[in-house]
Amino acid sequence: MTRTTRTPRTPKTARDLAGDLRAIVGERHVRVAVAERATYAMDGLPTHRRLPDVVVLPGTREEVIAVIRLLAVHGIPFVPRGAGTGLSGGALADDGAVLIVLTRLSRILKVDARNRSAVVEPGVVNARLSAATRPHGLHYAPDPSSQSACTIGGNVAENAGGPHCLKYGVTANHILSLEVVLATGETVILGSPSGEPWGPDLVGLFVGSEGNFGIATRISVRLTPLPRAVRTLLADFMALRAAGEGVSAIIASGIVPAALEMMDQSCVQAVEDSVYAAGYPRDAAAVLLVEIDGGNADAVIAETELVTEILRKSGARSVRSAASEPERERLWQGRKKAFGAMGRLSRDLVVQDAVVPRSALPDVLETIAGIAARHRLVVSNVFHAGDGNLHPNISFDATDEGMRTRVEEASAEIMAACIAVGGTITGEHGVGLDKLRYMPLIFDAESLGAMLAVRRVFDPEGRVNPGKVVPVHACREWTRRTDPGRKPGVGPKPDPDGSGDQGGLGGPGGSGSGDQGGLGGPGGFGSGDQGGLGGPGGFGDPRAGARGQLVS
């Protein structure tokens, strides 16, 4: 399906098209003034900044299609953006590209309570969907801590997780079908209304593709019944290691809590000092928030008692259960607003994201504390402990260049430590721009090349969100061109500025195995050893396959 777009004889820049874009979306919804564009120069990660050439805010799917068709005629790249809460620099557009902001596409188009599904536009805010379906006894289960702001479109692109994804599964488990506008302006439907696979799992492929394949304009989601019984426990520990062991012990018991979250002392104190104070004990080395839910109240009580016993045996100083719904909400608010509370610690914050085997949590947390001390940085941990999904948060001052360098060094060491114990570089925040430099640490050149080949099936010209996720200069085609003698599987050095423009041999962990599944969390791209990804069309044309249906 390699298809190219004819570029007109006199090439136009994104800025030249501002008038045409205004004709499509209206005067107010095209931003070219520097001050207006600066609003969109970052996402939730303060270490990357890119000024888009033009920002356009379409209001309907038809306007999205018209905008993309116009850009296709002129061969201009574009970047989709939801609420901009992403934490990997994924929604940033370089000079020369158009940023397409989807927050005006915010309608819940249909709630089908009988079939437990809903159809939404991509700009619907996550928490709004659950609020709208609650009267039907249903909710949209994936609940990122940013759910009061982030959009379902952004969640799909990042395969977002959240505290309750331990039991209910991440975004990939809740998407039934997608309408996607490709770089040409053509529209495809991936998946089926019932969510049953009709062929290759193209929904699974798209979810977690970080805006690299096209723009999701309609999203059909699975809704989940609200649990009838819920118990929320707060356990506090005087040692971080004991809390980590408590997490492993709960999972080893066979109980799958709805949520199992950890916060260390630095995080607890930031929360308790803020308006989100939840009553966490300030002197604890760590607290665990454990939620048990289900359809049967007696079973939930029995499991809660068992978990309480496990926590006590693991060394919990106290375990208390929320006595009322307001108290439960308060406990959760502290956790979900913890990143915001950390704003008290410093003017800037890098929220890191990595995954380790649960059993490695106690050791890795100690290693991270050592890295923080060595680099003279404050690192606070708040994370989805049940999934082994770490979020070490580094507080810093971006105006201090020396400190910025230390943050970059500490981040790289944290990633290396997680990889060394069998973990990976992202659990839910994606690769975006920020983690390009780490990709060669876990994927070899062949695997990166296979990922690019899959991307080209959707976007042969590489115009959708260019420069993200796959460090092109580290992939096989590039390394062959630059260094014919290079051994397969040997990655390049990490790229210090994350731009992906530095090749070269070696680098810590440079010999990737190429057999690690998933990119940007479960449900992302398949890995090089999963077959069928060998080249353009190798996976099938999403417009022609059994499950890919061309609609316009």
Residues that bind ligand FAD (CB under 6 A): 43-44, 79-87, 90-91, 102, 122, 144-146, 150-151, 153-155, 157-158, 160-162, 210-211, 215-216, 339, 428-429, 465
* Cβ closest to ligand FAD, residue 58 vs residue 449: 58
Minimum gap (Å) between residue 361 Cβ and ligand FAD? 17
Minimum gap (Å) between residue 101 Cβ and ligand FAD? 8
Minimum gap (Å) between residue 452 Cβ and ligand FAD? 17
Per the listing, tokens 């396959």 go with: 545
Minimum gap (Å) between residue 83 Cβ and ligand FAD? 4
- DSSP letters, 380-429, are EEEEBGGGTEE-EEEEE-TT-HHHHHHHHHHHHHHHHHHHHTT-BS-SSS
- CA–CA gap between residue 128 and residue 143 (Å, rounded): 11
Minimum gap (Å) between residue 391 Cβ and ligand FAD? 8
Q: Report whether 144 contacts 158 (CB < 8 A).
A: no
Which amino acid is present at 394?
A: I
- CA–CA gap between residue 182 and residue 68 (Å, rounded): 8
* Cβ closest to ligand FAD, residue 321 vs residue 333: 333
* Cβ closest to ligand FAD, residue 242 vs residue 280: 280
SS (H, E, C) 183-237: CCCCEEEEECCCCCCCCCCHHHHHCCCCCCCCEEEEEEEECEECCCEEEEEEEEE
* Cβ closest to ligand FAD, residue 82 vs residue 548: 82
Which amino acid is present at 298?
A: D
- CA–CA gap between residue 456 and residue 450 (Å, rounded): 10
* Cβ closest to ligand FAD, residue 145 vs residue 232: 145
What length does the chain have? Answer: 552
Minimum gap (Å) between residue 359 Cβ and ligand FAD? 23
* Cβ closest to ligand FAD, residue 245 vs residue 459: 459
* Cβ closest to ligand FAD, residue 219 vs residue 414: 219
| CA distances in angstroms from 459 to 207, 373, 464, 533, listed in the order given | 16, 44, 7, 15
DSSP 384: B
Minimum gap (Å) between residue 405 Cβ and ligand FAD? 24
Classified as helix, coil or strand, 153 is helix
* Cβ closest to ligand FAD, residue 146 vs residue 177: 146
- CA–CA gap between residue 39 and residue 443 (Å, rounded): 34
Minimum gap (Å) between residue 84 Cβ and ligand FAD? 4
| CA distances in angstroms from 498 to 47, 85, 99, listed in the order given | 11, 20, 20
- CA–CA gap between residue 119 and residue 178 (Å, rounded): 9
- CA–CA gap between residue 444 and residue 511 (Å, rounded): 6
